Copies of this chain bind each other. A is one copy, B any other.
């Protein structure tokens, strides 16, 4: 079982550990210390070694900060975690609404004077600048060793996960070709790459240093001549010399600082993610630009897209087996955890599952309204008759990463909820069948997912879609379908399409397919040079019992019926006869 249902932190130690941290600060003459959730790689998941925020405060969310001053201390969490933080974090920490209040602004207004210290590996250059811009009179910033590591006696060791090759049959482009095009596109003589999924993509490797994201921790220096130095302990990459090839030189991580200092000419870094420690070390002229792998990685090649299609058929069959099993259970007989366990079991039964792609969200009734709900032994509740069950889950397969949400009727559901479900579905269909001119960004697509809800004064407080990696991170940029999505969509990008609606204390609805941007074939009267559309990747029935067909347009009904016919045709042959019989019912036209 990948997923666990126990909480690894509690408020009990908060007070003692904060005291220890303040002692360490005091002995160094420091007025404050910054504790971000992030590790040096700025990703969504961190290794146990890097769970400093959780160790200090008890807070286990996937984003946040803590700041310790001598007289005050605070934990910063976003809207997803405002309930959870109250039970996890001790009274000694103030709870601050973030990002409404930024960490720099809180520090500036804290009244503290003196030196605020931080670990330069854990702040990006942009984050440091955010502090420098607003610090108050009498406050200054200083790099320091990580004081949590100093006081954390049984801190786990850094991960040493093994690295494996992602074969060319799945990656679709050789390392040499990637090195050629990325090095040629550099804006400087060399580039430091610090994002693990960029490194994994560039070198056709996958790692196991953290859960859920199959990436290795390491750093890269890429020269404009295409020569690459990979800073990663040799014990993590046994026998990969042939795979990596002659252009790639494996270097000991402890040489990174020395080698960075030796770089001459111009050196490119991405200020959004590059640790301050690396920028500090560079003596060459720094050129700031986006990580050069970011966009090429987001634009999947035809092999990666083919892999995604295969992974989604496999994952769709597992989902259909899960849904048919779920329907066969008496209403009220299951808990949210039972649901998670059975679903992971169905994915494991494919014999191809490398990991789940994130912690499955299984929210029954009112828990469905908690957008990033993660069930634990404490929160677990039965899935009752008459409720909706929201299940958001995904798998990591070697040929692709999946992410799907279905909201399922348990028994007879309130017609009000079914009406809301249908409005959400209308938005999901609007995005699915949109054609649009090349050059538009996710921001231009996002409103179509919401218009049917807006007509009723309803909306959801999250983006419509995020980028998805190819057996990489399930959340990947730079593209997204959201008000903040300013990057033009390009053929080959994979995105989620997941509108929702949440009624606090009552129910939650989300319907999510993955979609891939593709060129739309030209039409007879076309006057636009290049049109794009979305290919649907996810093939799993949408619960007909929650659909109010009268409020669908003819076009929406056609889309739904043809989607279900295709689900039936693609997935039916992949499941046993019981599940196939269930599927046939689930795919009937509305």
Binding site for B on A (CB under 8 A): 416, 420, 434-437, 440, 443-448, 451, 454-459, 483, 501, 503, 520, 522-523, 525-528, 531, 553-555
Contacts and interface: CB of A to CB of B under 8 A. Distances in A.
Contact of A454 (B436, B443, B454, B458): B436
B525 A457 contact: yes
Given A553-B553, A553-B554, A554-B553, A527 B447 contact: no
A440 B436 contact: no
Contacts of A501: 527
Given A444-B443, A554-B553, A435 B455 contact: yes
A448 B451 CA distance: 9
Contacts of A458: 525-528
B531 A457 contact: yes
A353 to B, nearest CB: 37
A522 B458 CA distance: 10
Contacts of A457: 435, 520, 522-523, 525-528, 531
Given A435-B454, A553-B554, 5 more contacts: A440-B447, A448-B451, A457-B523, A457-B531, A458-B526
Contacts of A554: 553
Nearest to A532: B454
A525 B560 CA distance: 25
Contacts of A503: 527
B437 A454 contact: yes
Contacts of A454: 434-437, 528, 531
Contacts of A525: 416, 420, 456-458
Contacts of A523: 456-457
Contact of A443 (B443, B455, B520, B531): B443
A528 B459 CA distance: 6
Contacts of A420: 525
A463 to B, nearest CB: 14
Contacts of A447: 436, 440, 444-445, 447-448
Contacts of A456: 523, 525-526
Contacts of A446: 444
A436 B457 CA distance: 8
Contacts of A448: 447-448, 451
A434 B451 contact: yes
Contacts of A436: 447, 451, 454
Contacts of A444: 443-444, 446-447, 483
A424 to B, nearest CB: 13
A367 to B, nearest CB: 18
A483 B523 CA distance: 24
A528 B456 CA distance: 10
A168 to B, nearest CB: 36
A439 to B, nearest CB: 9
A434 B416 CA distance: 22
29 contacts: A416-B525, A420-B525, A434-B451, A434-B454, A436-B447, A436-B451, A437-B454, A440-B447, A443-B443, A443-B444, A444-B444, A445-B447, A447-B448, A448-B448, A454-B528, A456-B523, A456-B526, A457-B522, A457-B527, A457-B528, A457-B531, A458-B525, A458-B526, A458-B527, A458-B528, A501-B527, A503-B527, A553-B553, A553-B554
B451 A437 contact: no
A517 to B, nearest CB: 14
Contacts of A520: 457
A281 B416 CA distance: 66
Nearest to A553: B553
